[in-house]
Amino acid sequence: MPPIRSTKRKAPPEGFDDIESDLLIFQNKMKDAQNKPAPTGPKHQAQWEIFQIAHQRSRYVYDLYYEKEAISKKLYEWLLKNGYADAMLIAKWKKQGYEKVCMYILVCRA
């Protein structure tokens, strides 16, 4: 989960205000998924919704930068540095044949 912004940290680059509302929606979904009681059954099923939301958030940032070219490189790097997207997963998406990977952990274990 991305850290909470404070006045002591460096301000986000220009363009963050345009996507902040979407990122807050992902953050609220993540909080809801983390606070939801664990379902009965295998332990990995309890984590699936969290991984799914993290994937959606990373894909959102990836699409904004690489597909739509709607954000600057400076903002993209700031988002990765501050944990708004999974940099290692996005690095795999850029490679041919890995466009549909949902979790970086799966690539590491294979």
Q: Is residue 70 part of a domain?
A: yes
The domain in which residue 62 lies consists of 16-109
Q: Is residue 62 part of a domain?
A: yes
Q: Is residue 66 part of a domain?
A: yes
Spatial neighbors of 58 by CB under 8 A, at least 6 apart, are 85, 86, 89, 90
CA dihedral (69, 88, 77, 53) positive or negative: positive
- Model pTM score: 0.84
Quote the CA–CA distance of 105 and 20 in Å, as a whole number: 27
* Total tally of structural domains belonging to the chain: 1
Residue of 74 and 38 predicted with greater confidence? 74
Quote the CA–CA distance of 62 and 81 in Å, as a whole number: 14
Residue of 98 and 35 predicted with greater confidence? 35
Per-residue pLDDT tens over the stretch 49-103 = 999 999 999 999 999 999 999 999 999 999 999 999 999 999 988 988 887 777 6
Of 27, 32, 34, 101, the closest CA to residue 62 belongs to 101
**What is the CB-side half-sphere exposure of residue 15 using CA atoms within 13 A?**
15
Per-residue pLDDT tens over the stretch 54-64 = 999 999 999 99
